[in-house]
């Protein structure tokens, strides 16, 4: 009995692919992000249901009795979907980067597990028949899929630890971890991986070459750790997008092995979009894209420490009432949100403050740096959660020219993205594009303390004559500003 024809499978996979493409298109702008998410969810639902129906058909055609294959698939869908729904509902916005890294690790691990299953019993996946060796092309695909998947898994685990900041284990610390000969070790492992892969691909006989395959997988897991540990916390946004790209390529590689067009298309979309996003992030942080790919950019710890040495310089501080008075009497205000705003969950209070300032005739805009927060688009999502009008939110390249004519800039929990040190050729962040808040007539900075940002550098903006520091939790400070404006 035929439950679903292959023509229908192809058609539904094509519809799902179109949905994924529309999702990427929608996610390219905050104003269409919700629609993009809806397309993505519909596409994944169609792809999942079609795949489950296909598995049901294949098991029925095999006329097996007492098999648990389909039951295990349904169990996996229910359990995995339940865990995902619970995690997505409970996770805080500030913890979203960790959740993304964890999801990337699972995709990589799934790619490795599928590759192992294919190598062990290729006839189950209709690649060969019992007693026939795996073709060279399939072995090459399995090698690439296993390599990329293993690197994605272990690299994402390290990224998760660095982003969470909860673990004392040195590899999970935000500071770069480096040692003498690190790059040569990475190069040696990469050469060994290629050699083992060739041995696996060209191995004669029907039985798979398990020894080189297993050693290759273990070394790939190790390489994933080694290429992420030298990357510092300041560069984590790029790491998130880079691992996103890796997970996509891993899925695409396994799609070729399984002859699954949906996996190939979806994986390629994720891989290419992640690579493009990584390039954009590198450009925004003045980093080398190839150094990211090779895991070679974490900064020189010694240089970072030297650059981050806090100078004992006087700063001008004030209260929330002082800040509210200055903004109420301004004609234009630009707000620069940062990670401190996200931690305090102050976006709703901020929207209320903006509404009151706007009611008084003040023109208010938001300025967003591409790497503000802890992942690409973090601040855009945060403001969208508070239903901030999209026409008030501007990207760095669109608003930088306005800072010089702005009366007041309110910086909320941002640090490195407004640090004028980027203009100094001798600075560790020299050349990094920043929001040019330092050009405004008056600057108000809200932070808990004078602590440095992810880059570990002192911020010259805090010591300018036209800067006033307002210390305290962002939510409490903004709520006090709201009362003072009233």
Residues labelled as active-site residues: 416
Residue 91 in 3-state DSSP? Answer: coil
Contact 269, 20 (CB under 8 A): yes
Q: Work out the number of other CB atoms within 10 angstroms of the CB of residue 105.
A: 23
Instruction: Return the structure tokens found at 167.
Output: 């673990």
Cα–Cα–Cα angle for 468, 469, 475, rounded to 5 degrees: 125
Strands (E) across 298-420 are located at 332-337, 363-368, 393-395, 408-412
CA pair distance 478, 321, nearest whole angstrom: 10
Output the DSSP codes for 132-181.
-PPPHHHHHHHHHHHHHHHHHHHHHHHHHHHHH----SGGGSSS----TT
Q: How far is CA 146 from CA 126, 158, 254, in A?
A: 19, 18, 8
CA pair distance 334, 367, nearest whole angstrom: 7
Burial per residue of 384-415, b for 16 or more beta-carbon CB atoms within 10 angstroms, e otherwise: beeebebeebbebeebbebbeebbbbbbbbbb
Instruction: Return the structure tokens found at 58.
Output: 């294949």
Cα–Cα–Cα angle for 165, 171, 175, rounded to 5 degrees: 65
């Amino acid at each position: 009995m035929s439950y679903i024809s292959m023509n229908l499978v192809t058609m539904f996979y094509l519809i799902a692919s179109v949905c994924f493409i529309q999702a990427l298109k929608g996610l390219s702008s905050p104003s269409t992000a919700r629609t993009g998410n809806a397309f993505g969810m519909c596409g994944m639902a169609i792809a999942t249901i079609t795949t489950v129906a296909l598995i049901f058909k294949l098991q029925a055609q095999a006329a097996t009795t007492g098999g648990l294959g389909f039951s295990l698939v349904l169990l996996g869908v229910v359990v995995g979907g339940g865990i995902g729904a619970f995690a997505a509902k409970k996770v805080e916005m500030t913890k979203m980067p960790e959740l993304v890294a964890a999801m990337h690790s699972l995709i990589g691990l799934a790619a490795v597990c599928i590759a192992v299953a294919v190598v062990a019993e290729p006839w189950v996946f209709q690649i060969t028949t019992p007693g026939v060796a795996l073709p060279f092309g399939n072995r090459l695909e399995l090698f690439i899929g296993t390599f990329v998947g293993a690197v994605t898994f272990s690299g994402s685990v390290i990224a998760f630890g660095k982003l969470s900041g909860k673990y004392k284990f040195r590899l999970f610390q935000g500071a770069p971890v480096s040692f003498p000969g690190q790059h040569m070790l990475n190069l040696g492992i990469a050469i060994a991986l290629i050699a083992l892969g060739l041995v696996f691909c060209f191995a004669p006989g029907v039985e798979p070459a398990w020894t080189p395959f297993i050693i290759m997988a273990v070394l790939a897991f190790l390489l994933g750790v080694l290429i992420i540990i030298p990357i510092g916390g300041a560069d984590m946004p790029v790491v998130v997008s880079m691992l996103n790209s890796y997970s996509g390529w891993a899925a695409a590689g396994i799609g070729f092995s399984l002859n699954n067009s949906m996996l190939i298309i979806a994986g390629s979309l994720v891989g290419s979009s992640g690579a493009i996003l990584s390039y954009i992030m590198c450009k925004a942080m003045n980093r080398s894209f190839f150094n990211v790919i090779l895991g070679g950019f974490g900064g020189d710890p010694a240089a970072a420490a030297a650059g981050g040495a806090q100078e004992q310089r006087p700063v001008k501080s004030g209260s929330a009432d002082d800040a509210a008075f200055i903004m109420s009497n301004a004609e234009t205000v630009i707000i620069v949100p940062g990670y401190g705003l996200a931690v305090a969950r102050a976006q709703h209070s901020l929207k209320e403050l903006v509404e009151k300032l706007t009611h008084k005739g003040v023109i208010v805009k938001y300025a967003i740096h591409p790497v503000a927060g802890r992942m690409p688009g973090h601040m855009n999502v945060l403001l969208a959660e508070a239903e901030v009008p999209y026409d008030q939110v501007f990207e760095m390249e669109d608003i930088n020219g306005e800072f010089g004519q702005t009366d007041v800039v309110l910086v909320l929990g941002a640090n490195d993205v407004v640090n004028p040190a980027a203009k100094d050729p001798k600075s560790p962040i020299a050349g990094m594009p920043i929001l040019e808040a330092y050009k405004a007539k008056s600057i108000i900075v809200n932070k808990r303390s004078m602590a440095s940002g992810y880059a570990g550098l002192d911020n010259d903006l805090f010591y300018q004559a036209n800067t006033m520091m307002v210390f305290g939790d962002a939510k409490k400070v903004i709520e006090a500003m709201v009362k003072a404006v009233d």
